[in-house]
Structure formats: structure tokens, C-alpha cells
Structure 1
Amino acid sequence: MELALHGKKLLVTGGTRGIGRGIALAAARAGADVVTCYRQESEAVATLTAALKETGGDHHVLRADLGDIAEVDRLIAEVKDRWGRLDGIVNNAGVISHIPFADLPAEEWSRIIDTNLTAAYRVIQQSLPLLGAGSSVVNIGSRGAAAGIPLRAHYTAAKAAMTGLTRSLAKELGPRGIRVNVVAPGVIETEAFDDMPAERAAGLRATYAQKTALARLGTVDEIAGPVLFLLGDHAAYITGETLSVDGGI
């Protein structure tokens, strides 16, 4: 079964690094036209832009800080001006920090909630005029939302709320032919592992190898595949679901 997305217009938020980058590139290679966004300039922005250019298609890498609702609205307006429609959305943009709950400042709570949850609400809401029957929204959650993770109360709260948002929207938007699902990754090896000391990275790999049924971390491509499936027509009767992609953690 080919996960083909030929001719589909997709928005993938937070697509320059990690899981979002993998999804954006996989979608482009599957034939979709992709708009993705980033918060600040970096080498990752330049390399993604080059990679998408080599892939072929009508792709755009735009700056937008999704922690700011006005920036979200500007991004969707630009998508409307460029394409006039959307066939799929992947709400991937997110931030994380590790702070004891007793010390968690209100502004940090708001920053994490705004980027991980409020941005998804606004992206979907403002995109509704662009989404027709057969379109698909995939929200990137986290396996940690179900398990709970110390020092990440704000992050896990946002990701848990994403599941509730998804379930409600699946029922509300279903009569319009719009599907809404969650993909909840486990521990995925991204370029962040390259940025940490080698000893710590090796320790994390060993720890999670013992905690997963498949005895290893996941890869970005192993998240992109299920996301593309949910975006495509093969998943036309799937909505309101949370798909855990975690190696059996």
C-alpha cells in the first residue's frame, strides 16, 4: 500500500527539526505540497528549504511564532493567499522545559500551553474555511501525556488536552467530512541526541531499550509513516483516535 499524497496541500507546523522535519519531508516525497513554519532563523531552516526544493513541488518554509495567536492568524492567511485550500494539517509545533511543579512560573506555564495547545486550536479554527470534505487533521501528542512525567506537568497537561480537543473536534467536524486524530510518539531519536553529551545519549538509549517491547528508540521516519497514513485516503474512516507509536513502552 503506497502512502501517496499526490496533489494534497498540507500545513505542517514546526517542521524544521525533529519529528516535524521528518513529516514535512516525507509528505513532500509522497507528492504533497507542503507549507511549514519556524520560529527563528537557523541552519535547520536553510537545510530544510534546500531539501524541499530538491524534492519538487510547491513548498514554502515560513517564519511564524505559534506561541503568538496573531502570528498563527498571519500564517493561515498566507496559506490562504498561496493555495486557497488545505487538504491536511499536522499540528506538530511544540516546546518543552523541565521544571519542578512547585517552582513552575506562570509565564512558563503559559508559554508551554500556548505553543503546544492554543496554537493547535487556532490553526484548526482559522483553517476551517480552507478544509473540505475528505481533509484530515493530525495532532502530534505524546505517550507521556498518558503516563505522566515528573518536571513536565505543563507539557503533559497540554498534550493530554490535545487528546480531548481531538475527540471533540472529530465529533463536531465529522459531519463536514473532516477527520481529526492524534499520533502520540514515545521516545524518538532526533537530532537532539546529537546535541547532548555522548555519554548521556548512550544512557538514554540504554534506558529506553529496557522499557520498550521492541528494545530500542523510535526513528523520525517511524512517526512520519503513521502520520502520512492518517492524512491519506486509506484512513478515510478513522477519526477521533489516538495512535500511540511508542515501540510498546
Structure 2
Amino acid sequence: MSVDLTGKKVLVTGGSRGIGRGVVLALARAGARVVTCYRAESPAVESLQKELTGIGGDHHVVQADVSVPEDVDRLVAAAKDRFGTLDAVVNNAGVISHIPFAELPLDEWRRVVDTNLTAPFLVIQKALPLLSAGSSVITVGSRAAVVGIPMRAHYTASKAGLIGLTRSLMKELGPQGIRVNLVAPGVIETEEFETAPPEEVARVRSRYQGLTGLGRLGRPDEIAGAVLFLASDLSAYVTGETIHVDGGI
């Protein structure tokens, strides 16, 4: 079954790489009009723009660092200027680092929490006037939020916070007809695997093949499938949920 999002207007944060890129391209192929952002110039931004041009449709790629409140204002203003209203917001932008808790600097804690948790708060709040009954707010969390991972206390805490944010907003925005849900990926094979040392890639694949029910890592387009479902009318009675897309880890 294909999902038809023709005419839907969607804002996606962090769309130039990884899961975000997969989501942006899937939305565009499904007929949605997409505004997305990137933090810094890179070949990935240029290639995304080319792919969107090839797909066709009304899409816009703008620079914005969602950990900066002024950039969030500018991003949402760009969506308003181009589309007027929004049918869905996808909070995807995120960062991670691997540091023992005893050595974790406060600045790094703030960087990760600001990007992974505070930014979705800002984006949703600023985009709220553009949303109406039937709109969908989707945030990309992590399976790690309910598991915990050594050396990622800051990352795990930020992703766990998204569960509480989702549950609270589900109740607060529900009377307005706005749905709020979370997609929690497992280990996803993004373009980072292409630049990592081959032995490290082999180690990760081997480990998670043994830990997942499906015996493999996930792909960005498989996360995008859950996002498309939540952005569509197929999920009209789904809200406040965390959908784990992790291969049965």
C-alpha cells in the first residue's frame, strides 16, 4: 500500500542527511510539499536539492540550526511564507556523542539537550499557529530512550524527554484535533557507515544482527515509512504513541 500525501505541506528539521533525508525524499515522492533545513553547507545539501528537483514539486531547503531560537523563528517563517499553513511537522534534527558520564562537560550536555529536546519544543511552539485540526506532529526519538546506553547519558536523557513531551502535547493539543506521536528508531544504517572504518562497520553489523529479531540493521526509508503513516489520514486515530521501528531489538 502506498501513502498518498498529495498537497500536504510538511516541515522537516535536519533533512540533508541520514534519517531526515530519507524522510524528506519519501514525503516528496508521496506528493507532499516539503520545507526542510540543514545546519551547515555540505555536498549533502546540494545533492538533496538535486534529488528534490528530480522528484518535482514545491520543495525548499533552507539553512537553520534548530538549537538556535532565532534560526527556528526564521525556519518557521520560511514555511509560513511559502505554504501559509502546515499539515505536519517532523522533528528529526539531532546530535549525539559518546562520553563517560564522569567526564561529560556541561557545554556538551547542553548542546545535545538543546538540539534533541529543546529544539522540538521550540519548533512545535512556533509552528503551532500554522497547524489546525487534522495536523500531525511527529518527532524522531530513539529506542535508546527506554534502554539506556553507557557513555550516552546526555543523548538518552534528551530522547527520553521527548516521550514525556509527546504524551503531554497529545493531551493538550488533542482538543484542537492535532495528533502528536513519536517514532523511535533502532540502529539505522545511514551514510555514516560509508565513511566509517570497515572493521567498525562489520562489528556493528555483527552485533545488531544478533540482537534484532529481523537479524539486520534498519534503513532510513524504513523510518520514513512510519513517518508517512503518521503524516497521513491512515493514522487519524493515533496519538500519543511511540512507534518503535527497530527490527525487534
TM band (smaller chain): over 0.9
* Counterparts of 1:24 and 1:234, CA distance in 2: 19
For residue 209 of structure 2, what is the aligned residue in structure 1? 209
The one-letter code of the counterpart of 1:100 is: P
* Counterparts of 1:99 and 1:67, CA distance in 2: 20
For residue 176 of structure 1, what is the aligned residue in structure 2? 176
Q: Aligned Cα RMSD in Å?
A: 0.6
Deviation at 1:83, TM superposition (A): 1.2
For residue 82 of structure 2, what is the aligned residue in structure 1? 82
* Counterparts of 2:151 and 2:42, CA distance in 1: 28
* Counterparts of 1:216 and 1:194, CA distance in 2: 17
* Counterparts of 1:200 and 1:122, CA distance in 2: 36
| Offset from partner CA, 1:48-102 (integer Å, 9 cap, x none) | 0000011111100000011111111111111111111000011000011111111
**After the TM superposition, which parts of structure 1 deviate over 3 Å for at least 4 consecutive aligned residues?**
none
The one-letter code of the counterpart of 2:219 is: T
For residue 161 of structure 1, what is the aligned residue in structure 2? 161
For residue 126 of structure 1, what is the aligned residue in structure 2? 126
| Offset from partner CA, 1:125-160 (integer Å, 9 cap, x none) | 001110011000110000011000111000000000
* Counterparts of 2:195 and 2:170, CA distance in 1: 38
Deviation at 1:195, TM superposition (A): 1.1
Taking structure 1 as the reference length, the TM-score comes to 0.99
Q: Which stretches in structure 2 are left out of the alignment for 5+ residues?
A: none
How do residues 1-249 of structure 1 correspond to structure 2 at under 5 angstroms?
1-249=1-249
Percent of aligned pairs sharing the same letter: 65
Q: Which stretches in structure 1 are left out of the alignment for 5+ residues?
A: none
* Counterparts of 1:49 and 1:26, CA distance in 2: 14
The secondary structure found in structure 2 opposite 1:190 is coil
Deviation at 1:2, TM superposition (A): 2.5
- Tell me which protein shows more strand as a share of its residues: 1
* Counterparts of 2:4 and 2:205, CA distance in 1: 32
* Counterparts of 2:142 and 2:195, CA distance in 1: 21
Taking structure 2 as the reference length, the TM-score comes to 0.99
Aligned length: 249
